[in-house]
Structure 1
Amino acid sequence: MIKVCIFDLDGTLADTVESLAYCGNRALEAMGLSAFPTDRYRYFAGDGSAELVRRCLRENGDLECQRFDELSSLYGAYFAKDCMYHVKPFPGITELLKWLKANQIKISVFSNKPHEQAIDVVESLFGKGYFDYIQGQQEGIPRKPAPDGAMKIASYFQVPCDECLYIGDTNTDMQTGNAAGMNTVGVLWGFRDREELEENHAKRIVNTPLEISAMLEKEFLKPAQDTRRSK
Protein backbone atom coordinates (compact mmCIF):
# COMPACT_ATOMS: atom_id res chain seq x y z
CA MET A 1 0.00 0.00 0.00
CA ILE A 2 1.29 3.47 -0.89
CA LYS A 3 1.32 5.85 2.07
CA VAL A 4 3.56 8.65 0.75
CA CYS A 5 3.93 10.31 -2.65
CA ILE A 6 7.24 12.10 -3.21
CA PHE A 7 7.20 14.59 -6.08
CA ASP A 8 10.04 16.16 -7.99
CA LEU A 9 9.36 19.90 -8.39
CA ASP A 10 10.67 21.30 -11.69
CA GLY A 11 8.97 19.58 -14.61
CA THR A 12 6.75 17.41 -12.40
CA LEU A 13 4.65 19.56 -10.08
CA ALA A 14 5.42 22.90 -11.68
CA ASP A 15 6.24 24.23 -15.11
CA THR A 16 9.33 26.23 -14.18
CA VAL A 17 11.30 26.27 -17.43
CA GLU A 18 10.53 29.93 -18.14
CA SER A 19 11.86 30.99 -14.74
CA LEU A 20 15.07 29.00 -15.25
CA ALA A 21 15.59 30.47 -18.71
CA TYR A 22 14.74 34.01 -17.58
CA CYS A 23 17.27 33.96 -14.75
CA GLY A 24 19.91 31.96 -16.63
CA ASN A 25 19.83 34.15 -19.73
CA ARG A 26 19.97 37.40 -17.77
CA ALA A 27 23.06 36.12 -15.97
CA LEU A 28 24.69 34.98 -19.22
CA GLU A 29 23.98 38.26 -20.97
CA ALA A 30 25.39 40.22 -18.01
CA MET A 31 28.67 38.35 -18.60
CA GLY A 32 28.60 38.91 -22.36
CA LEU A 33 27.78 35.29 -23.10
CA SER A 34 25.14 33.84 -25.41
CA ALA A 35 21.63 33.26 -24.13
CA PHE A 36 19.63 30.16 -25.08
CA PRO A 37 16.07 29.42 -26.22
CA THR A 38 13.78 28.63 -23.31
CA ASP A 39 13.28 25.05 -24.45
CA ARG A 40 17.02 24.38 -24.09
CA TYR A 41 16.69 24.76 -20.35
CA ARG A 42 14.67 21.54 -20.24
CA TYR A 43 18.01 19.79 -20.62
CA PHE A 44 20.05 22.19 -18.50
CA ALA A 45 17.70 21.61 -15.53
CA GLY A 46 17.21 18.60 -13.29
CA ASP A 47 20.53 18.21 -11.52
CA GLY A 48 20.70 21.34 -9.40
CA SER A 49 21.65 24.95 -10.03
CA ALA A 50 25.40 24.29 -10.07
CA GLU A 51 25.03 21.78 -12.91
CA LEU A 52 22.70 24.15 -14.79
CA VAL A 53 25.43 26.81 -14.61
CA ARG A 54 28.07 24.36 -15.84
CA ARG A 55 25.90 23.31 -18.78
CA CYS A 56 25.33 26.94 -19.75
CA LEU A 57 29.07 27.60 -19.68
CA ARG A 58 29.97 24.49 -21.66
CA GLU A 59 27.41 25.40 -24.31
CA ASN A 60 29.15 28.79 -24.50
CA GLY A 61 32.51 27.14 -25.14
CA ASP A 62 33.87 27.35 -21.58
CA LEU A 63 34.46 23.61 -21.39
CA GLU A 64 36.49 23.87 -18.18
CA CYS A 65 33.88 26.13 -16.54
CA GLN A 66 36.50 28.69 -15.63
CA ARG A 67 33.84 31.35 -15.09
CA PHE A 68 31.71 29.13 -12.87
CA ASP A 69 31.91 31.27 -9.73
CA GLU A 70 30.96 34.43 -11.60
CA LEU A 71 27.97 32.91 -13.40
CA SER A 72 26.84 30.96 -10.35
CA SER A 73 26.78 34.13 -8.26
CA LEU A 74 24.84 36.08 -10.87
CA TYR A 75 22.38 33.29 -11.51
CA GLY A 76 21.80 32.79 -7.79
CA ALA A 77 21.06 36.49 -7.32
CA TYR A 78 18.58 36.62 -10.20
CA PHE A 79 16.94 33.37 -9.14
CA ALA A 80 16.54 34.45 -5.53
CA LYS A 81 14.51 37.41 -6.81
CA ASP A 82 12.61 35.85 -9.72
CA CYS A 83 12.26 32.13 -9.03
CA MET A 84 8.48 32.46 -9.53
CA TYR A 85 8.70 34.08 -12.97
CA HIS A 86 5.82 32.57 -15.03
CA VAL A 87 5.79 29.46 -12.81
CA LYS A 88 2.53 27.50 -12.70
CA PRO A 89 1.33 24.00 -11.75
CA PHE A 90 0.93 21.59 -14.63
CA PRO A 91 -2.69 20.87 -15.63
CA GLY A 92 -4.24 18.21 -13.42
CA ILE A 93 -1.67 18.51 -10.61
CA THR A 94 -3.97 20.38 -8.22
CA GLU A 95 -6.70 17.79 -8.72
CA LEU A 96 -4.24 14.94 -8.10
CA LEU A 97 -3.01 16.52 -4.88
CA LYS A 98 -6.56 16.99 -3.63
CA TRP A 99 -7.29 13.33 -4.39
CA LEU A 100 -4.20 12.18 -2.51
CA LYS A 101 -5.14 14.23 0.53
CA ALA A 102 -8.70 12.93 0.43
CA ASN A 103 -7.29 9.39 0.47
CA GLN A 104 -4.96 10.18 3.39
CA ILE A 105 -1.77 9.76 1.35
CA LYS A 106 1.01 12.09 2.52
CA ILE A 107 2.48 14.42 -0.11
CA SER A 108 6.05 15.67 -0.17
CA VAL A 109 8.60 17.29 -2.47
CA PHE A 110 12.23 16.37 -3.09
CA SER A 111 14.02 18.82 -5.36
CA ASN A 112 17.54 19.70 -6.45
CA LYS A 113 16.44 23.33 -6.33
CA PRO A 114 18.07 25.21 -3.40
CA HIS A 115 16.04 24.51 -0.27
CA GLU A 116 14.74 28.03 0.36
CA GLN A 117 13.69 28.48 -3.26
CA ALA A 118 12.02 25.05 -3.25
CA ILE A 119 9.93 26.08 -0.25
CA ASP A 120 9.18 29.46 -1.85
CA VAL A 121 7.95 27.92 -5.11
CA VAL A 122 5.87 25.18 -3.46
CA GLU A 123 4.24 27.48 -0.92
CA SER A 124 3.62 30.21 -3.51
CA LEU A 125 1.84 27.74 -5.79
CA PHE A 126 -0.04 25.61 -3.27
CA GLY A 127 -0.07 27.50 0.01
CA LYS A 128 1.92 27.30 3.21
CA GLY A 129 1.55 23.95 4.95
CA TYR A 130 -0.24 22.28 2.04
CA PHE A 131 2.56 19.79 1.51
CA ASP A 132 3.45 17.58 4.43
CA TYR A 133 7.20 17.85 3.80
CA ILE A 134 9.50 19.81 1.46
CA GLN A 135 13.14 18.91 0.90
CA GLY A 136 15.36 21.04 -1.35
CA GLN A 137 19.09 20.97 -1.88
CA GLN A 138 20.94 21.88 1.30
CA GLU A 139 24.11 21.12 3.21
CA GLY A 140 24.32 17.56 4.47
CA ILE A 141 21.93 16.06 1.91
CA PRO A 142 23.52 14.95 -1.37
CA ARG A 143 21.67 16.14 -4.43
CA LYS A 144 19.76 13.66 -6.56
CA PRO A 145 20.37 11.03 -7.89
CA ALA A 146 21.73 10.16 -4.44
CA PRO A 147 18.78 8.57 -2.62
CA ASP A 148 19.53 10.11 0.78
CA GLY A 149 16.91 12.86 0.59
CA ALA A 150 14.17 10.49 -0.55
CA MET A 151 15.04 8.05 2.23
CA LYS A 152 15.02 10.91 4.74
CA ILE A 153 11.46 11.71 3.69
CA ALA A 154 10.39 8.08 4.16
CA SER A 155 12.02 8.11 7.60
CA TYR A 156 10.24 11.35 8.50
CA PHE A 157 6.88 9.68 7.81
CA GLN A 158 8.06 6.44 9.45
CA VAL A 159 7.16 4.32 6.45
CA PRO A 160 9.27 1.79 4.53
CA CYS A 161 10.60 2.97 1.17
CA ASP A 162 8.53 0.42 -0.73
CA GLU A 163 5.39 2.17 0.52
CA CYS A 164 6.47 5.40 -1.20
CA LEU A 165 5.69 6.46 -4.76
CA TYR A 166 8.47 8.55 -6.28
CA ILE A 167 7.21 10.75 -9.14
CA GLY A 168 9.49 12.64 -11.53
CA ASP A 169 10.25 13.58 -15.12
CA THR A 170 13.98 12.92 -15.65
CA ASN A 171 16.65 10.24 -15.57
CA THR A 172 17.85 11.74 -12.29
CA ASP A 173 14.45 11.19 -10.68
CA MET A 174 14.18 7.57 -11.79
CA GLN A 175 17.71 6.85 -10.57
CA THR A 176 16.89 8.47 -7.22
CA GLY A 177 13.65 6.61 -6.62
CA ASN A 178 15.05 3.26 -7.75
CA ALA A 179 18.16 3.65 -5.60
CA ALA A 180 15.92 4.34 -2.60
CA GLY A 181 13.87 1.18 -3.27
CA MET A 182 10.71 3.15 -4.06
CA ASN A 183 8.01 2.70 -6.69
CA THR A 184 9.02 5.05 -9.51
CA VAL A 185 6.62 6.83 -11.85
CA GLY A 186 7.94 8.79 -14.82
CA VAL A 187 5.79 11.63 -16.15
CA LEU A 188 5.65 12.76 -19.77
CA TRP A 189 4.35 16.30 -19.23
CA GLY A 190 7.73 17.51 -17.94
CA PHE A 191 11.20 18.22 -19.30
CA ARG A 192 12.22 14.87 -20.80
CA ASP A 193 10.86 12.06 -23.00
CA ARG A 194 9.69 8.48 -22.69
CA GLU A 195 12.97 7.04 -23.95
CA GLU A 196 14.95 8.64 -21.14
CA LEU A 197 12.48 7.41 -18.53
CA GLU A 198 12.47 3.87 -19.92
CA GLU A 199 16.26 3.73 -20.12
CA ASN A 200 16.40 4.67 -16.44
CA HIS A 201 13.94 1.98 -15.39
CA ALA A 202 10.79 3.89 -14.54
CA LYS A 203 8.43 1.27 -13.18
CA ARG A 204 5.46 3.19 -14.62
CA ILE A 205 5.17 6.00 -17.16
CA VAL A 206 2.10 8.24 -17.28
CA ASN A 207 0.81 10.93 -19.61
CA THR A 208 -1.40 12.81 -17.15
CA PRO A 209 -1.73 13.30 -13.38
CA LEU A 210 -5.14 11.60 -13.54
CA GLU A 211 -3.39 8.34 -14.45
CA ILE A 212 -1.55 8.40 -11.12
CA SER A 213 -4.72 8.56 -9.03
CA ALA A 214 -6.33 5.89 -11.22
CA MET A 215 -3.28 3.64 -10.82
CA LEU A 216 -3.22 4.09 -7.05
CA GLU A 217 -6.93 3.42 -6.73
CA LYS A 218 -6.72 0.28 -8.83
CA GLU A 219 -3.48 -1.26 -7.60
CA PHE A 220 -2.40 0.19 -4.29
CA LEU A 221 -5.52 1.13 -2.36
CA LYS A 222 -7.42 -2.12 -2.65
CA PRO A 223 -8.32 -3.62 0.71
CA ALA A 224 -6.59 -6.87 1.44
CA GLN A 225 -8.64 -9.85 0.33
CA ASP A 226 -9.87 -12.15 3.05
CA THR A 227 -8.70 -15.56 1.85
CA ARG A 228 -10.09 -17.52 4.80
CA ARG A 229 -12.81 -19.96 3.91
CA SER A 230 -16.13 -19.23 5.46
CA LYS A 231 -17.18 -21.75 8.03
Structure 2
Amino acid sequence: MYKAAVFDVDGTIADTIDTICYYGNRSMKKFGLPEIERERYKYLVGRGYENLVKGMLCEKNAYSDALFNEMKEFYHDDYETDSMYLTKLYDGISDVVKFLKNSGFKLGVLSNKPTGAVHDVIGAFFKEGTFDILCGGGDGFPLKPDPSALLDMLKKLDVSPDECIYAGDTKVDVETGKNAKIFTIGALWGFRTREELENAGADVIASEPREIIEIVKNKNNF
Protein backbone atom coordinates (compact mmCIF):
# COMPACT_ATOMS: atom_id res chain seq x y z
CA MET A 1 0.00 0.00 0.00
CA TYR A 2 1.34 3.41 -0.95
CA LYS A 3 1.76 5.90 1.87
CA ALA A 4 3.93 8.60 0.30
CA ALA A 5 4.41 10.45 -2.97
CA VAL A 6 7.41 12.45 -4.17
CA PHE A 7 7.30 14.82 -7.13
CA ASP A 8 9.81 16.45 -9.43
CA VAL A 9 9.29 20.20 -9.99
CA ASP A 10 10.19 21.40 -13.51
CA GLY A 11 7.85 19.75 -15.99
CA THR A 12 5.94 17.88 -13.30
CA ILE A 13 4.52 20.25 -10.69
CA ALA A 14 5.21 23.48 -12.52
CA ASP A 15 5.60 24.58 -16.13
CA THR A 16 8.87 26.48 -15.84
CA ILE A 17 10.13 26.27 -19.42
CA ASP A 18 9.37 29.92 -20.20
CA THR A 19 11.18 30.93 -17.01
CA ILE A 20 14.24 28.86 -17.87
CA CYS A 21 14.21 30.07 -21.47
CA TYR A 22 13.96 33.69 -20.33
CA TYR A 23 16.88 33.56 -17.92
CA GLY A 24 18.88 31.27 -20.17
CA ASN A 25 18.67 33.67 -23.08
CA ARG A 26 19.41 36.64 -20.82
CA SER A 27 22.64 34.85 -19.99
CA MET A 28 23.37 34.13 -23.64
CA LYS A 29 22.81 37.78 -24.54
CA LYS A 30 24.92 38.96 -21.60
CA PHE A 31 27.90 37.05 -23.00
CA GLY A 32 27.32 37.93 -26.65
CA LEU A 33 25.89 34.59 -27.76
CA PRO A 34 22.81 33.88 -29.91
CA GLU A 35 19.57 32.87 -28.21
CA ILE A 36 18.45 29.26 -27.95
CA GLU A 37 14.98 28.21 -29.07
CA ARG A 38 12.42 27.57 -26.34
CA GLU A 39 11.86 23.93 -27.30
CA ARG A 40 15.57 23.14 -27.04
CA TYR A 41 15.54 24.14 -23.39
CA LYS A 42 13.20 21.21 -22.71
CA TYR A 43 16.11 18.91 -23.52
CA LEU A 44 18.82 20.96 -21.82
CA VAL A 45 17.15 21.06 -18.39
CA GLY A 46 16.93 18.31 -15.82
CA ARG A 47 20.47 17.83 -14.52
CA GLY A 48 20.94 20.99 -12.46
CA TYR A 49 21.73 24.53 -13.49
CA GLU A 50 25.45 23.95 -14.04
CA ASN A 51 24.76 21.23 -16.60
CA LEU A 52 22.10 23.47 -18.14
CA VAL A 53 24.60 26.28 -18.66
CA LYS A 54 27.20 23.85 -19.98
CA GLY A 55 24.62 22.55 -22.45
CA MET A 56 23.68 26.08 -23.51
CA LEU A 57 27.30 26.87 -24.34
CA CYS A 58 27.85 23.58 -26.15
CA GLU A 59 24.67 24.22 -28.13
CA LYS A 60 26.42 27.18 -29.75
CA ASN A 61 29.92 25.61 -29.80
CA ALA A 62 31.04 28.28 -27.36
CA TYR A 63 32.16 26.26 -24.35
CA SER A 64 35.29 27.14 -22.42
CA ASP A 65 35.97 26.64 -18.73
CA ALA A 66 36.36 30.36 -18.15
CA LEU A 67 33.12 31.30 -19.90
CA PHE A 68 31.24 28.47 -18.21
CA ASN A 69 32.37 29.53 -14.75
CA GLU A 70 31.36 33.13 -15.39
CA MET A 71 28.03 32.34 -17.03
CA LYS A 72 26.88 29.80 -14.47
CA GLU A 73 27.27 32.37 -11.69
CA PHE A 74 25.39 35.00 -13.70
CA TYR A 75 22.57 32.59 -14.61
CA HIS A 76 22.16 31.36 -11.04
CA ASP A 77 22.11 34.82 -9.48
CA ASP A 78 19.86 36.27 -12.19
CA TYR A 79 17.36 33.40 -11.90
CA GLU A 80 17.23 33.74 -8.13
CA THR A 81 16.15 37.40 -8.37
CA ASP A 82 12.66 36.28 -9.47
CA SER A 83 12.50 32.52 -9.92
CA MET A 84 8.70 32.60 -10.30
CA TYR A 85 8.70 34.87 -13.35
CA LEU A 86 6.52 33.19 -16.05
CA THR A 87 6.16 30.01 -13.97
CA LYS A 88 2.73 28.32 -13.93
CA LEU A 89 1.25 25.42 -11.99
CA TYR A 90 0.12 22.58 -14.26
CA ASP A 91 -3.63 22.17 -14.44
CA GLY A 92 -4.73 19.32 -12.20
CA ILE A 93 -1.65 19.17 -9.98
CA SER A 94 -3.38 20.92 -7.09
CA ASP A 95 -6.21 18.35 -7.29
CA VAL A 96 -3.68 15.50 -7.10
CA VAL A 97 -1.88 17.01 -4.12
CA LYS A 98 -5.17 17.68 -2.32
CA PHE A 99 -6.35 14.11 -2.92
CA LEU A 100 -3.11 12.59 -1.67
CA LYS A 101 -2.99 14.85 1.38
CA ASN A 102 -6.59 14.08 2.27
CA SER A 103 -5.82 10.37 1.85
CA GLY A 104 -3.12 10.58 4.51
CA PHE A 105 -0.11 10.53 2.18
CA LYS A 106 3.21 12.00 3.19
CA LEU A 107 4.38 14.31 0.41
CA GLY A 108 7.82 15.31 -0.82
CA VAL A 109 9.47 17.26 -3.61
CA LEU A 110 12.81 16.29 -5.13
CA SER A 111 14.42 18.41 -7.83
CA ASN A 112 17.83 19.15 -9.32
CA LYS A 113 16.66 22.77 -9.36
CA PRO A 114 18.49 25.05 -6.87
CA THR A 115 17.04 24.69 -3.39
CA GLY A 116 15.92 28.31 -3.13
CA ALA A 117 13.95 28.08 -6.36
CA VAL A 118 12.30 24.83 -5.21
CA HIS A 119 11.06 26.56 -2.06
CA ASP A 120 9.91 29.56 -4.13
CA VAL A 121 7.78 27.42 -6.44
CA ILE A 122 6.20 25.30 -3.70
CA GLY A 123 5.65 28.31 -1.46
CA ALA A 124 3.93 30.23 -4.25
CA PHE A 125 1.42 27.53 -5.15
CA PHE A 126 0.78 25.56 -1.95
CA LYS A 127 -0.05 26.34 1.66
CA GLU A 128 2.74 25.94 4.19
CA GLY A 129 2.89 22.37 5.44
CA THR A 130 1.29 20.82 2.37
CA PHE A 131 4.57 19.05 1.59
CA ASP A 132 6.42 17.32 4.38
CA ILE A 133 9.88 17.60 2.86
CA LEU A 134 11.53 19.57 0.04
CA CYS A 135 14.93 18.82 -1.47
CA GLY A 136 16.72 20.76 -4.18
CA GLY A 137 20.06 20.70 -5.93
CA GLY A 138 21.79 22.63 -3.16
CA ASP A 139 20.98 20.32 -0.26
CA GLY A 140 24.23 18.38 -0.20
CA PHE A 141 23.25 15.23 -2.09
CA PRO A 142 24.44 14.10 -5.53
CA LEU A 143 22.07 15.22 -8.28
CA LYS A 144 19.46 12.87 -9.74
CA PRO A 145 19.54 10.18 -11.08
CA ASP A 146 21.62 9.29 -8.03
CA PRO A 147 18.98 7.99 -5.58
CA SER A 148 20.69 9.18 -2.39
CA ALA A 149 18.45 12.21 -1.80
CA LEU A 150 15.29 10.23 -2.55
CA LEU A 151 16.28 7.41 -0.20
CA ASP A 152 17.09 9.94 2.51
CA MET A 153 13.66 11.48 2.05
CA LEU A 154 12.02 8.08 2.50
CA LYS A 155 13.94 7.57 5.72
CA LYS A 156 12.79 10.95 7.03
CA LEU A 157 9.21 10.24 5.96
CA ASP A 158 9.46 6.81 7.64
CA VAL A 159 8.29 4.85 4.59
CA SER A 160 9.90 2.06 2.58
CA PRO A 161 10.57 2.23 -1.18
CA ASP A 162 7.60 -0.06 -1.90
CA GLU A 163 5.31 2.33 0.00
CA CYS A 164 6.16 5.34 -2.17
CA ILE A 165 5.52 6.62 -5.70
CA TYR A 166 7.72 9.07 -7.57
CA ALA A 167 6.51 11.23 -10.47
CA GLY A 168 8.74 13.03 -12.96
CA ASP A 169 8.86 13.99 -16.62
CA THR A 170 12.35 13.04 -17.80
CA LYS A 171 14.66 10.06 -18.21
CA VAL A 172 16.62 11.38 -15.24
CA ASP A 173 13.51 11.24 -13.06
CA VAL A 174 12.57 7.73 -14.14
CA GLU A 175 16.13 6.53 -13.55
CA THR A 176 16.07 8.13 -10.10
CA GLY A 177 12.91 6.30 -9.16
CA LYS A 178 14.16 3.00 -10.57
CA ASN A 179 17.52 3.39 -8.80
CA ALA A 180 15.62 3.78 -5.52
CA LYS A 181 13.35 0.83 -6.40
CA ILE A 182 10.27 3.04 -6.22
CA PHE A 183 7.16 2.81 -8.40
CA THR A 184 7.76 5.57 -10.93
CA ILE A 185 5.19 7.54 -12.92
CA GLY A 186 6.29 9.26 -16.14
CA ALA A 187 4.66 12.68 -16.46
CA LEU A 188 3.81 13.05 -20.14
CA TRP A 189 2.49 16.60 -19.66
CA GLY A 190 6.04 17.79 -18.99
CA PHE A 191 9.07 18.44 -21.17
CA ARG A 192 9.86 15.06 -22.74
CA THR A 193 8.32 12.39 -24.95
CA ARG A 194 6.50 9.14 -24.26
CA GLU A 195 9.31 7.30 -26.04
CA GLU A 196 11.92 8.69 -23.63
CA LEU A 197 9.84 7.77 -20.58
CA GLU A 198 9.10 4.28 -21.88
CA ASN A 199 12.71 3.61 -22.81
CA ALA A 200 13.81 4.77 -19.36
CA GLY A 201 11.54 2.15 -17.81
CA ALA A 202 8.68 4.14 -16.24
CA ASP A 203 6.28 1.79 -14.46
CA VAL A 204 3.36 3.73 -15.86
CA ILE A 205 2.94 6.90 -17.94
CA ALA A 206 0.29 9.47 -17.09
CA SER A 207 -0.94 11.78 -19.83
CA GLU A 208 -2.24 14.39 -17.40
CA PRO A 209 -1.85 14.96 -13.65
CA ARG A 210 -5.27 13.72 -12.51
CA GLU A 211 -4.44 10.24 -13.81
CA ILE A 212 -2.21 9.90 -10.75
CA ILE A 213 -5.34 9.87 -8.60
CA GLU A 214 -6.70 6.86 -10.49
CA ILE A 215 -3.33 5.09 -10.35
CA VAL A 216 -3.22 5.47 -6.57
CA LYS A 217 -6.86 4.44 -6.15
CA ASN A 218 -6.25 1.26 -8.15
CA LYS A 219 -3.06 0.39 -6.33
CA ASN A 220 -4.48 1.10 -2.87
CA ASN A 221 -7.94 -0.32 -3.61
CA PHE A 222 -9.66 2.92 -2.62
Given the two structures, how large is their TM-score scaled by the length of structure 2? 0.96
Sequence identity of aligned pairs in percent?
38
Query: Segments of 4+ in structure 1 off by > 6 A?
Result: none
Q: Residue 115 of structure 2 contacts residue 139 of structure 2 at CA under 8 Å; is this kept in 1?
A: no
Q: How many residue pairs are counted as aligned between the two chains?
A: 222
Would the aligned equivalents of 1:169 and 1:187 in 2 still touch at CA under 8 Å? yes
Q: Are residue 207 (structure 1) and residue 187 (structure 2) matched?
A: no
Asked whether the 8 Å contact 2:2–2:164 carries over to 1, the reply is yes
Q: Find the counterpart in structure 2 of residue 137 from structure 1.
A: 137
Of the two, which has the highest radius of gyration?
1
Deviation at 1:40, TM superposition (A): 1.5
- Residue by residue, what CA displacement relative to the aligned partner does 1:40-83 show, whole Å, maximum 9, x if unpaired? 21111111001100000001112455411111011011101121
Q: Does the 8 Å contact 1:19/1:82 carry over to 2?
A: no
Cα separation, 2, equivalents of 1:33 and 1:82? 23
Gaps of 5+ in 1: 224-231
Superposition map of 1:98-137 within 5 A: 98-137=98-137
Q: CA RMSD in A?
A: 1.2
Mapping for residues 138-217 of structure 1, pairs under 5 Å: 138-217=138-217
Matches within 5 A, 1:21-36: 21-36=21-36
Q: Is the 8 A contact 2:115 2:136 kept in 1?
A: yes
Structure-2 change in CA distance of 1:100 and 1:139 (3 Å): closer
Q: Which amino acid aligns with 1:213?
A: I
Contact 1:164 1:182 in 2 (8 A): yes
Report Cα offsets for 1:93-124 as digits up to 9, x if no partner: 01111111111111110000111111111111
Q: Tell me if structure 2 keeps the 8 A contact 1:27–1:71.
A: yes
Distance 1:104 1:124, change over 3 A: same
Letter in 2 for 1:215: I
- Does residue 47 of structure 2 align to residue 47 of structure 1? yes
The CA distance in 2 between the partners of 1:205 and 1:69, in whole Å, is 37
Equivalent position amino acid for 2:221 in 1: K
Work out whether residues 185 and 206 of structure 2, in 8 Å CA contact, stay in contact via their aligned partners in 1. yes
Normalising by structure 1, we get a TM-score of: 0.93
